[in-house]
Amino acid sequence: MPQAPKRDGLPQGFRSAELGWPELDRIPHPPHRIPLLGDVVGVNRRTPLQDSLRYARELGPVFRRKAFGKEFVFVWGARHTADLADESRFAKHVGLGIANLRPVAGDGLFTAYNHEPNWQLAHDVLAPGFSREAMAGYHPMMLAVARQLTEHWDSAAATGRAVDVPGDMTKLTLETIARTGFGHDFGSFARSRPHPFVTAMVGTLTYAQRLNTVPFPLAPLLLRSASRRNAADIAYLNHTVDELIRARRASGRGDGDLLDRMLETAHPETGERLEPRNVRRQVITFLVAGHETTSGALSFALHYLSRHPEVAARARAEVDRVWGDAAEPAYEQVARLRYVRRVLDESLRLWPTAPAFAREARQDTVLAGEHPMRRGAWALVLTPMLHRDPEVWGADAERFDPDRFDAQAVRSRAPHTFKPFGTGARACIGRQFALHEATLVLGLLLRRYELRPDPAYRLRVTERLTLMPEGLRLHPERRTPVREPASDLRCPVPGAGD
């Protein structure tokens, strides 16, 4: 990937590690390095993250890999990661697959370079959209979407069919962010196949990852057909969002949701507003990031609940106790599901669906007192390995155990050892939205169903920049009694059925 123009003396985008790590030779790398090709022996281009986890176990808390002339430094040790979290010395680095998403997301919150002003403007304008008051307003719409999911699962339970967990969680989370944030209904549960928006989104994420697996000079040749498909995917995403924005401007109905804030709200201090092109980029960012990672988190959590019936029983008992005989939980009752939240956190520990984040040095420094870094040097934090560091999580770090997140255990751990949402000023703005949604959905499903796994299933993880359990299917069985809502409280939204 070519470097973008420099600003303040720092190139943006990818730069190979030898440019920023003066003692790079001290950092271990895999054996059998091949000239020109690098560390490609025994790797799979479809599982670069899982290959890196394997090397991490062999090479230690700081290591490097080289592919097609590009050198990468990976970090996962808790002490090193805590140092990288120091905002006075390090900042977010946009590189690898994230920079490859800039043709579609541009200077959106997730993909903006630090020097681009729109990310801070958007953050300041949109942050009130994730306040406690705003979250309470989203809660009824989250329940309405969850009802569509349970109707679908009720039908499967009645006929003994298995459900496609990742597919259904994707439908649920896409509808949730689309309705709560943008007043739009994709009609996902009325479709037998994924909505074209989801297909295009998966295409762009997959293409962004593939760009890292081929030499840059050969990418136009080797990925010619894939590049055409990616261009078509981007065009579809842009068209969908442009139509969504056009409909909002025409109707003027948004009740202060995220799209209203993007279109109408000025920065409280500067009076600046988001420009139209950036609004499109922010909407795409929220629609993609706001559902893809949460659907993965829910899918992994449901996998572990189905495989650990004792955990499921304990979580279900908490739901029954906290929610009582209420037809549906109130907003405040979701936060009281502390053990369900531990299940979610433990699932995110083992398989954080956004599995890495990159940090760059703001100035010449030394990482954890060991490795000199020049200004602009960067490293990729492997979150799943950070979450498996035996010095923090113990010798049984691979074991699923939600009690790792009871209050006393959390207080006893050092800061910066659990990072499923990134770190610092550029950490995920929608964290509380995702956690409320996921905890609510897990509670609803546990109260309504027993979750029966396929005994032959073995967890396989598919990678498309984010992580998802591949081929996960469960058999939901209705529990009795389950009190039904007294009335249909679905929230009609503009654009229903698009």
Does 293 qualify as catalytic in the annotation? Answer: yes
State the catalytic residue, choosing from 421, 423, 433, 439.
Answer: 421
pLDDT at position 3, please?
Answer: 46
Over residues 415-423, the mean pLDDT reads 97
Query: Does residue 141 surpass a pLDDT of 80?
Result: yes
Report whether 115 contacts 7 (CB < 8 A): yes
Query: Does residue 491 surpass a pLDDT of 60?
Result: no
State the catalytic residue, choosing from 428, 433, 439, 466.
Answer: 428
- Cβ neighbors of 5 (< 8 A, separation 6 or more) are 11, 12
- In tens, the pLDDT along 269-285 reads 999 999 999 999 999 99
- In tens, the pLDDT along 107-125 reads 999 999 999 999 999 999 9
Query: Does residue 234 surpass a pLDDT of 90?
Result: yes
Over residues 410-417, the mean pLDDT reads 97
**Exposed/middle/buried for residue 383 (C-beta within 10 Å: 0-12, 13-18, 19+):** buried
Instruction: Work out the number of other CB atoms within 10 angstroms of the CB of residue 7.
Output: 12
pLDDT at position 254, please?
Answer: 72
pLDDT at position 5, please?
Answer: 43
Report whether 11 contacts 375 (CB < 8 A): no
Which run of H or E residues covers position 474?
strand 473-478
The span from the first CA to the last CA of the chain, in angstroms, equals 37
Report whether 478 contacts 154 (CB < 8 A): yes
Report whether 490 contacts 147 (CB < 8 A): yes
Over residues 335-353, the mean pLDDT reads 98
pLDDT at position 45, please?
Answer: 84
Scanning 211-334, the segments in alpha helix (DSSP H) are 219-222, 224-251, 258-264, 276-307, 309-323, 331-334
Query: Does residue 376 surpass a pLDDT of 80?
Result: yes
Give residue 96's region: left, alpha or beta (phi > 0; psi -120 to 50): left
State the catalytic residue, choosing from 293, 353, 439, 466.
Answer: 293
The model's pTM: 0.92
Does 480 qualify as catalytic in the annotation? Answer: no
DSSP E strands in 2-143: the ranges are: 6-7, 10-11, 62-67, 70-75, 90-92
178, 189, 296, 193: which is closest to 240 by C-alpha?
A: 178
- Say what angle helices 224-251 and 276-307 make with each other, to 10 degrees: 110
> Which of 40-54, 107-121, 293-307 has maximum average pLDDT?
293-307
Q: How confident is the model at residue 13 (pLDDT cuts 50, 70, 90)?
A: low
